[in-house]
Amino acid sequence: MSLSTLVLLSTLATSPAAPEEAVPPRHQLSLYGRSGASMYLSSARTHGGVGGGFGLRDTVDGRWLLQVDANALTGLGTAFAVRVGAGVQRQGWWAPAALVNLTGLFGDRLDFLTPEHPVPVVGPSLGLGLTLAPARFTLGKAQVSVLELGVGVGTDSPGLGLLYGLTLLEVGVAL
């Protein structure tokens, strides 16, 4: 073996390795704004409207989501929606997600008096549901989600209510 062959082989052996993928931080907090609609429908009441709000999200290990948001709604009077959710997302620039949410609707609503409900139901409309966000993207420190769909169920004893949610646009920024 010649000296030039040894130098070439040693150069190849000591060449830098391919860069490792960046490890996501353990906790990544982000603030987000959203616009859309929430509606709770039962035989006893209708509650909700269209509007928007703000929230705080913690992304754990780049995959697990914990979030809370508050939204002002209009259409059937003035209502407020508060959501607490947990879910999972795909890692990468395309990051679709699925979340389980507990949603409370407060404020103005339409009450219906029926034989099952001779007096109005008191308290907020509460629903537990699933939200799917198929068009969700991460671009650096920003997150953008378009057209999230949610459905859930709540109780207006006796009977059940259905909770529907539609997010048209959600934009977040990591802190």
Looking at residue 18, its pLDDT comes to 47
Domain boundaries, the chain: 29-174
| Residue pLDDT, tens place only, 107-159 | 999 998 888 888 888 889 999 999 999 999 999 899 999 999 999 999 887 78
Q: What is the pLDDT of residues 11-49, one digit of tens each?
A: 555 545 545 556 777 889 999 999 999 999 999 999 999
Q: Is-contact 89 72, C-beta < 8 A?
A: no
pLDDT for 21: 56
Question: Which CATH code for domain 29-174?
Answer: 2.40.160.20
| 1 band by pLDDT with thresholds 50, 70 and 90 | low
Cβ atoms of 75 and 49 within 8 Å: the answer is: yes
- CA dist., res. 24 & res. 86, Å (int): 18
Bridge partner list, 70: 54, 82
Q: List 135's β-bridge partners, or say none.
A: 146
The pLDDT of residue 109: 92
* 9 SS3 class: helix
d(CA 9, CA 11): 5
